Amino acid sequence: MNKRIYSDENGLHFFAAANTYDGFLSFFSDIFDSDELQKITVLKGGPGVGKSTLMKNIAKEAQNLGFTPECYHCSSDPFSLDGVLVKEKSFAVIDGTAPHAFEPKYAGAKGRILNLGEAWDTSVLEREKEKIKSLSCEKDDCFRRAYALFGAAENLIKDETSISAKCLQKEKAVRACDKFSSKYFKNGSFHTKVKRVFTSALGKEGRVRFFTFENESVNKYFVKDVKKTAPLFFSLLYENALGRVNEMYVGCGELNPERINCLYFPSLSLCVSLYDDEYCAALEKEQKDYKIINLGRFFDLVSDRKNRAKYRFAEKCEKSLMKEAFSELKEAGALHEKLEEIYGEATDYEKITLFGEKLMKELFN
């Protein structure tokens, strides 16, 4: 899998949706909560109309004014934004087009739609309607095949985890988790506010991961996985934290959101996440402290030897399926770029610029 580490220039970086084994999954309604935010602007318009650029400009302006924007990237194309949220000003601007279609809950009062399609020369799009239809259908087919492949890969990952779980000395893992919890979590009865986001996603670039929570934390812990047993440890830690902390962010697995890859506790400035060679090497180079939770300590090697052949077969098949799925997503990305070119030729970007300038004045007034 490909992997990129994004810098936190222009804010904090996450995904609000993901391409999962069960299709496209969006957390838009939870993240962009109409009851919590004072204003939500929903951008409408086709590909290439300038929605992402407008949101990037808003994020940049927010940071220039001393705010901390949360940037939510497109899972299929991490170089594009699906949304930007500025908590200090209690507003969000989001892409409300498919597949993450979004409508304002309190239209006119707290939410509104900005239709960038008003900048189109529709005669150009009408001339290209057959090409638009063909490209769109081809792209949908690519995603359909990718999701089918992800589904097959997920079944194998579950099998791998089931095989490995037999080799994990759970009592030792539980004791280690309890010891860690007693160090950081208070005994008490809190109503823990749980917020779910994707810190990684699967798209045309392969697997992309952000390290926002790790960068924000003073106390950094990394769980060294052994044959896909890390989610079992994260689940134990999650259960221990419930009722003992005020707030907890859950970094959901990019393929299966039920698997946890990261836990972040803002009040403790504590992050526990999946180990990453490249990121940890960068921390060492910068002489920043972090600690390792090595699951190898709880792994029974005798049991592992008995099940090694089964695990390797499942893993080999899973990797082959994932590789093919990424090829489909890459092809879908290329088709989307062709659609962007068509819509770009039909778009009056001077109008889009004026829309953006007016919106920014309203948001930051």
Number of domains in the chain: 2
Span 314-361, pLDDT tens digits: 999 999 999 999 999 999 999 999 999 999 999 999 999 999 999 999
Question: In this structure, are 285 and 174 located in the same domain?
Answer: yes
Residue 24 structural domain: 12-120+347-364
Mean pLDDT of 299-317: 93
Q: What letters, b where the CB count within 10 A reaches 16 and e where it falls short, cover 88-124?
A: ebebbbbbbbeebebebeeeeebbeebebbebbeeee
Q: Is the pLDDT assigned to residue 2 strictly greater than 80?
A: no
Query: Would you give the end-to-end CA distance of the chain in angstroms?
Result: 44
Mean pLDDT of 175-199: 92
Residue 207 inside a domain? The answer is yes
- Comparing C-alpha atoms, which of 38, 97, 45, 116 is closest to residue 359? 116
Q: Is the pLDDT assigned to residue 192 strictly greater than 90?
A: yes
Q: Is 188 left (phi over 0), alpha (psi -120 to 50) or beta?
A: left
Max alpha carbon distance in the chain (Å)? 70
Span 268-277, pLDDT tens digits: 999 999 999 9
The residue from 259, 277, 299 where one domain ends is 299
Span 8-60, pLDDT tens digits: 456 799 999 999 999 999 999 999 999 999 999 999 999 999 999 999 999 99
The fraction of the chain above a pLDDT of 70, given in percent, is 97
* Distance in angstroms (rounded) separating the CA atoms of residues 363 and 352: 16
Question: In this structure, are 17 and 89 located in the same domain?
Answer: yes
Q: Which helix (H) or strand (E) holds 213?
A: helix 212-216
Residue 136 inside a domain? The answer is no
* Residue 319 confidence (pLDDT): 97
User: What confidence category does residue 87 fall into, taking pLDDT thresholds of 50, 70 and 90?
Assistant: very high
* Residue 3 confidence (pLDDT): 54
Residue 156 inside a domain? The answer is no
* Residue 4 confidence (pLDDT): 52
Mean pLDDT of 237-241: 96
Mean pLDDT of 123-146: 97
